[in-house]
Structure 1
Amino acid sequence: MERIYRAVFEAAADGIFVIGAGGVIRFVNQAAGPLLGVADAALIGRQIGDFFCDPDDQAALAPTDRHPGGRREIMMRRDDGYRFPAEIVLRDVMREDGPTRVMIAHDISARHATREMLLAREELLRAIIATAPEAVIVIDAHGRIMSFSAAAERMFGHPAAAMLGRNISMLMPEPYRREHDSYLARYLETGEKRIIGIGRIVVGERADGTSFPIELQVGEVEAGGQRLFAGFIRDLSEQQEAERRLQDLHGKLLHTSRLSTLGRMASTLAHEINQPLTAIANYVEAGRQLLAAGRAELLPRVADALSRAGEQAARAGSIIQRLRGFVARGENEKKPEDLNTLVEEAATLALVGAREFGIRVTFALAPDLPPVLADRVQVQQVILNLVRNAVEVLQPCARREITVQTAASEGFAEITVADTGPGIAPEIRDQMFSPFVSTKRDGMGLGLSICREIVESHGGRIDVASAPESGTAFRFTLAFAPPMETLDD
């Protein structure tokens, strides 16, 4: 039996130390020397405490009937000074020559490294959740909140400490609140995904009872045998408000487009109105002459002339009524405007859908520009037109870039919309701002003409720089608003 014990003693992968009185090493196995970086024979007679970093650990290792032993983690060191964590198991054995302690030591450096890596990952995850701009909420399979990020506190108005352990449904308005647990139970039972791994727009409820739209993405994970769900939540209130403002701006821009188009229609409409007015004048003059003749038999002809004049007056009135309906929103006025805000709003609207075509947009807006004197909607119509033209031109191109720039130039504000498109041929470029000239197959050629009229009505100028295969840059200027005291005068 002793030979079997000896074989086990020598074959053990962990270092085994037999420690006598005073902490002196009496026997070791073959793994002990490599563990401590000392030859086996050189360990015999050494103090075991020489290989421990903490003096308290050294005092506890001397064999005595007051220390029954046990398992613990300590820091050990080799002869070369290298320190490493070790797990030791102590057992006391009473021998005829006195108390003896057996120590089994195992290097747990790899375990410590793994544990520290996991702890670092946990700390990193906590830091990410704490600083994420989107709200992050973790719940268990029963809907109980396990983690509530700082962004979630700001979004919903509940402190994290008060939310831990509460049901996630309290962040939802009715009827979603009472139905949430059944949704979760149905998923756990059937695996049918309605939000998990898919994402959708839902409604949340703040601490003050107000509801607001949110975009919810939910991920699922198993940790420690427990099923957890992490929700990533984005508040859509500002986005929807911005969309509403853009829609309102779009409506205003469309109205300005109607006003601009009215200028193009002026000559045709003037001709239409001139016809009934000329006819009225002729009929009235004929009636006057017939009355001047003083002959009773001519009275029916006078009545017919006046009737026809009335018909032509009604025709002219109908034309004017149609014009009034077209410009129902009336005149616009110029006032001081922040140019960069004006440009950003219009360009953002014009760029809707541009991402689908892989178009990259760069804004280079000069800071601290003075306000410009402008009709906001009309100027935004110009920007909208130029940017949309650039988007359309770039769609078939390999390089798709648009630059929108503002700057001060020679006492004026200058706005530039440049693209990396195919450019414009010289023979067309010189006529770009003339009516009915267009590079588009189905274009009417009125957009740039309208842009020129708007810019010139603001006291500015517009031009284009382009060459085939080198892109196109439209530039126009606006006057800066005079000082407030001048306006007040």
Structure 2
Amino acid sequence: MASESVPHENGIRSPDAFAREAHLRSILETIPDAMIVIDARGRILSFSAAAERMFGYSEAELLGENVSVLMPSPDRERHDSYLERYYATGERRIIGIGRVTTARHRDGATFPIDLHIGEAEIDGRRVFTGFIRDLTERQQAELRVHDLQSELAHVSRVTAMGTLATSIAHELNQPLTAIANYVETANELLDTPDAETLEIVREALAECAAQSVRAGQIVRRLRDFISRGESERRIESLARVVNEASALALVGAGERGVEFEVKLDQQADRVLVDRIQIQQVLLNLMRNAIEAMEGSSHRRLRVTSRREEEGLVRVTIEDSGPGLPPEVAGQLFQPFVSTKAKGMGLGLSICHTIVHGHGGRIWAEASKLGGTAFHFTLIDASGDQDV
């Protein structure tokens, strides 16, 4: 008995083909990752059930709409130009590679995602299929782990600081005690300032100077010992470093109404860094900025980069918060100086150590957004080979 045929707009489709399509759709509708199919102009052709749950839109609402509606600024405004650049150059920056970035929910909140895009040609038409995984739960789990690690590190740090303080006190006690004794003796001898006494006073002051030098050497040795850590530097994409750090920093920022913007110099994308360390700097500065804007009516966070002279790239993180209090602006990067009521004042000090260890510098000034702009420089490796 011949199989019954099923009509289709492009011809006749067999029951087997119909069943395969239904089976494929059932699989795609049940996978946890969201799937979005767009055409060559960026218009949405398919929007899976997981995508509906993830973004808060129904498929019917978005069919035919530009996929940029699901993107925060600046990608939202630039998506069409990204497609045009790909058609013109054939250079793949996401397709077939994948990246961690941010997406925009229907309610305006941004959230971190892992995005993978594939390209295909169907019936002579070019289509792109994006598979999207919401990283919010993973990032929150990482944050919980990070908090636990921070608590353990805090206990370890307090213990280490106690041991260090004891060691410093023991090492410095002798020269400081000697200095105090010499000064006290000299002060008493000056009551009878004859020639012989003045000579003894000079000797006492000379010994004070010698003991002061010894105390300074002790402090320098301790400082060198503490800062002797080695970093593993490689040539990295600054865009990748920033994207991954911002995805973690922006967890929950959408609920706070933070408008996030990234504008990086594509001609200065390669930098010589320890990726984890520099992401720690970015994460610290971005979280500080988000916390600083808690009381602001308009909350805007911007990350930019540009090439500087002398083979450096400048990275800037700026916010629209209240700015820095004058009493701390001049000593921001010193340990135990904090603008937070419960802060330990070590974050910016660590940032300073990391950036200087990379051969750069870090500083702060007023931002054009109304708050604070933190700048730091990295070694420009744009002319070097990838590793």
Q: TM-score, normalised by structure 2?
A: 0.48
Rg comparison, structure with higher value: 1
Higher RCO, 1 vs 2 (CA within 8 Å, ≥6 residues apart): 2
